[in-house]
Structure 1
Amino acid sequence: MDFGLWENYYKQILDDFGFERKDDEKTAQVLDDILFDEGCLTLEDLYEKINFSNRFIIFGAGPSLKKHIKKIKEEYDLTKYVLVSADGATTALIEEKIIPDIIATDLDGKIDDILYANTMGANLVIHGHGNNLEAILKYTPFFDNVLGTTQSQAHGNLYNFGGFTDGDRAMFLAIALGAKELILAGMDFGDRVTKYSRPNIENETAKADDIKLKKLEYAEAFTSWIAENKDVKIINLKL
């Protein structure tokens, strides 16, 4: 999604959630500065790392995730797919002894698991926004093989492929990397959250709060936009 089109959605998101663009831009600049100092991946670098396939599996952190991981392990040859986890879904994959090729994260999942996956070869796509400045400062320097993204104007070392939540941003990233098939696992867009997306909840799942529900609505809308506007086959395992 080019920025001119994305900016229309972005302005709506800012209004709907009461976010400040200047806060997104501040965090983006901090992330860009860290990546300049520490080194980072370009999109071309990432493509070279994963160009063994144009078929991607995107793992979201919805209630169906573990069921879908089991199905995928039994029915799919994972060596033929690029595996992309959306932040907290990384923990579920590690529990099943799977290391994703890419983790799309704004660093609110379990950092220890994301760090472990990174040391085992996972590439990170770290997203900076107005609410994660502290996490960007604290954790980004500890990771290797990082590509940076922003939801405001791309600049410096940062990209903006489109998308709002970790899951739909992972889908837009996959398209930027040449995906022709997207299999969606754990992408439920329902009214429940899991311990993988909200590590502090007491039970395995809990009812999503109003903000999370609104985010899931955007994620579903962007998934539909991709299906309608991009030359990519989408298989949602929830259906």
Structure 2
Amino acid sequence: MDSNLLEYPNAAIWYQKIRDVFDFDQNNDIIARDLLYSLRKNIPVENVINSLQNRLKKKNLIFCGAGPSLQPILTIMVQILEKHRENFFIIAADGATRCLNELTLYPDLIVSDLDGITPDQLQNNLNSGCIASILGHGDNIPNIHRFKSILQTSPNLICTTQTTSRYPIINPGGFTDGDRGPFLLHHIIPSNYPFYMIGYDFEDKIGKYSKPNLSTDQPMTDFKRKKLKISQDLFDELQQNHSRNLIFINSPQQCERFNLMN
């Protein structure tokens, strides 16, 4: 697949909306993008995109956010996921990777801006055959340096930016770790594939898997609430403008939907 096909046409519009809310410094985002470019400029991205596309075929797509409902829902699902692992393609939003690993599950794709997992955790998952989509932005430049050896050498990376793309650094759309996964795969997989969304909680608490140093869920902050509102708006755009079927599963009762998948 041509990497240009993964560019989201409304990305610049959303980026301006996000900057209007958070006053992010575009210059710092460009610095982060160019830092990723310096590490990846000699590594074509098409091979890993094609590998990702091939792995997705005829799979049930499970997107794991890092919200408070993730662990209880995964605990219910883990036997199904293990027994029928070949039928599922699991996408972890950053720190959700740790929850999956605790249940001896490895995601097929990690979407991260490098603040929810450690270099060792990322490398261990890459060693299992995982692909990772890594965002560079102005606030995670120190983390890009911390993960430099992985970013410079791993073939199984798709590196992204939230500002103007610079090949092989692309901009498939999205904002948070949780919504950039659906936006990336939106370009790759036919629209009749449902996206099953677990651990996506938009109220009350910040999940303990959001950051490596958390051991319990945390009270919602104004900053996080604003981020989640934009994430919800982005999901609405996928559903309303692009006919994506996003099925949110955040209670044990809703796990019964998985009976349709076995």
TM-score over 0.5 for the alignment? yes
TM-superposition CA deviations, 1:157-206 (whole Å, max 9, x none) = 011111100010011012122152100010111231122102323x4111
Q: Which residue of 1 aligns with 2:201?
A: 188
Partners of 1:8 and 1:35 lie apart in 2 by: 26
Partners of 2:53 and 2:148 lie apart in 1 by: 22
Q: Does the alignment pair 1:152 with 2:157? A: no
**Higher helix fraction: Structure 1 or Structure 2?**
2
Partners of 1:115 and 1:121 lie apart in 2 by: 10
Q: Does the alignment pair 1:170 with 2:170? A: no
Kept in 1: contact 2:194–2:244 (CA 8 A): yes
TM-score (norm 2): 0.83
User: % of aligned pairs identical?
Assistant: 28
Displaced runs of 4 or more, over 4 A:
1-4
Partners of 2:148 and 2:101 lie apart in 1 by: 20
Q: Does the alignment pair 1:210 with 2:215? A: no
Partners of 1:139 and 1:158 lie apart in 2 by: 16
Task: Give secondary structure in 2 for the equivalent of 1:58.
Answer: strand
Task: Give secondary structure in 1 for the equivalent of 2:16.
Answer: helix
For residues 94-133 of structure 1, what are the structure 2 equivalents within 5 Å?
94-111=101-118, 112-133=120-141
Partners of 1:89 and 1:97 lie apart in 2 by: 13
Q: How many residues align?
A: 237
Kept in 2: contact 1:91–1:114 (CA 8 A): no
Q: Does the alignment pair 1:11 with 2:11? A: no
Q: Does the alignment pair 1:64 with 2:72? A: no
**Structure 2 gaps, min length 5:** 1-5, 255-262
TM-score (norm 1): 0.91
**Structure 1 gaps, min length 5:** none
RMSD: 2.0
Kept in 2: contact 1:34–1:141 (CA 8 A): no
Residue 75 (structure 1) shift: 4.3
Q: Does the alignment pair 1:226 with 2:233? A: no
Task: Give secondary structure in 2 for the equivalent of 1:171.
Answer: helix
Q: Which residue of 1 aligns with 2:211?
A: 198
Q: Which residue of 2 aligns with 1:41?
A: 45
